[in-house]
Amino acid sequence: MVSLNSLLRLLLKYSLVITYIVFLITSVAQAQLCSGSLGDPVVNITFGSGGGNTGYTPTSGYTYTSSTCPNDGSYTITNTTSSCFGGSWHTVLNDHTGGGAFMLVNASYNPGDFFLTTVSDLCPNTTYEFAAWIMNVMNRPGISPNLTFSIETPSGTILQTYSTGDIAETSQPRWEQYGFFFNTPSTNAVIVLRITNNAPGGIGNDLAMDDITFRPCGKGFVTTAILGNMDVVNICEGSTNTYDFSGSVSSGFTGPVFQWQLSTDSGTKWKDINNANALTYQRKPTKPGLYWYRLTVAESSGLGIPSCRVASNMVIINVHPNPIVNAGPDKIMFEGDSVTIEGTVLGESPIYFWDPHLYVKDVASLNTLVSPPLNMNYNLLATSAFGCKNADIVLVKVVNGIYVPNAFTPNDDGKNDHWRIPFLDPLLNASVKVFNRLGQLVYHTEGQQVDWDGTLFGMPQSSGTYVYYLNYKKHNAVVNMRGTVLLIR
């Protein structure tokens, strides 16, 4: 006599085998591939971003609802659904691509059509791939969705059909793509898409649908390569290299015509390149950016119609920017003292160092102390993760002390119009005060460059002798200076 535990293990074993067989059958059914190259989706029904019906109305047997838990015979367009029917549905937080809405359907009790639309943007006598992403939103056993996709002429002639079979429930929400290929009529490319639910509603048969696409399928392969059979090239800003692209087309096209395209947004949008209509194309130098190229092909009668084109693989030229390097302003340093040089480096994971290394406390730090005995230029050198380089220079000027000019002529002749004190670096945090003969403060600055134009509140001051007081730090000691400056008009 077989024990209960043995019976349960046996049932589980055969259940897993059956599940695996179903998985294989489903995988084979969904693995239909275009025998040539595919084009861009010429029809892409994404159901928008949610918040309404968005114009996609199923057949008359279904009713639109704003509820994200539609009842039998209802549907909604939504970004999410959760906690439906006692938790028997998955919580779905995103559509197939994660950026919009999807159609959520609770099947009617009677099997039948639940989606019907007319597509008129296709090319005559062309093979197309139809595909749609479907999810069984049930997370427990119940009636499984079972769909038939049908491509028909407006008069009702069936061009192609495809059935998904039962779409089993899963423990976690999972989008699956289903699709097939069909040929448009030679005289009229308008087709009707009909989606039929073959199973009844009730406990189960609840599904989500997203991203219904039609893509042209070429009768041959189109491939491209950069000279040397590379797919991706990384170069640096300022490169003067040119690159030759070559395309090849397999048999299957009777009168192919070509058009090279460029995308600068990683393949979201493609633009035809003027006069690039041969199997080869030479790329000229450009500014930094990501440049994706591909070759599109169509029969001579349909090149100008995007829905007729198929596209090759992409070849990519990445022009990486050089690092942005700023070694900071020139510095003044007293002989025997030290000063901080302050750099900034921006870019793609750059490494950097100061050169020469002489008298630098930390050559790998952007802000570091230096103590050169004489005037010295320091180079801040940077190299990005892609080998792109840049540099900038800062001058450290070594002085014995501060020289204070004793006269200036603010008469707007462009010569000696301002009283300035050379070498008084703001880092010295100097305080400068200037008084007139009446003891009135007419100019004052703290920790800034000294730059007096001989005015007070915008009013020119009279000619005469003015007294200044200056204090700053030298070798960590405070230096106090007092003197006079002559204002001459």
The domain spans of the chain are: 28-217, 222-320, 324-399, 407-487
Average pLDDT score over residue span 309-335: 93
Higher pLDDT: 46 or 22? It is: 46
Asked which of 17-26, 125-134, 162-171, 413-422 is least confident by mean pLDDT, the reply is 17-26
How does pLDDT run across 10-25, given as a tens digit for each residue?
333 333 333 323 333 3
Domain 222-320: what homologous superfamily? Immunoglobulins (2.60.40.10)
* Domain spanning 28-217, CATH architecture: Sandwich (2.60)
Residue 201's pLDDT is 82
pTM score, two decimals?
0.67
Sequential DSSP letters for 383-438: E-TTS-EEEEEEEEEEESS-----EE--SSSSSS-SB--TT--GGG--EEEEE-TT
pLDDT above 60 for 32: no
Give Rg (Cα) of the chain.
Answer: 38
Asked which of 87-91, 249-253, 255-259, 421-425 is least confident by mean pLDDT, the reply is 249-253
* Domain spanning 407-487, CATH architecture: Sandwich (2.60)
How does pLDDT run across 429-462, given as a tens digit for each residue?
899 999 999 999 999 999 898 999 999 999 999 9
Looking at residue 307, what DSSP letter applies? Answer: G
Beta-sheet strands, E only, within 142-263? 146-152, 158-166, 176-183, 191-197, 206-217, 222-226, 232-236, 243-249, 256-263
How does pLDDT run across 192-212, given as a tens digit for each residue?
999 999 988 888 899 999 999
Average pLDDT score over residue span 34-61: 76
Average pLDDT score over residue span 248-270: 89
Residue 20's pLDDT is 29
Q: Are 198 and 147 in contact (CB under 8 A)?
A: yes
> What rounded mean pLDDT belongs to the chain?
87
Average pLDDT score over residue span 401-412: 92
Fold identical between 28-217 and 407-487?
A: no
pLDDT above 70 for 27: no
pLDDT above 90 for 62: no
CATH class of 324-399: mainly beta
Residue 60's pLDDT is 65
Alpha carbon 26 to chain centroid distance? 35
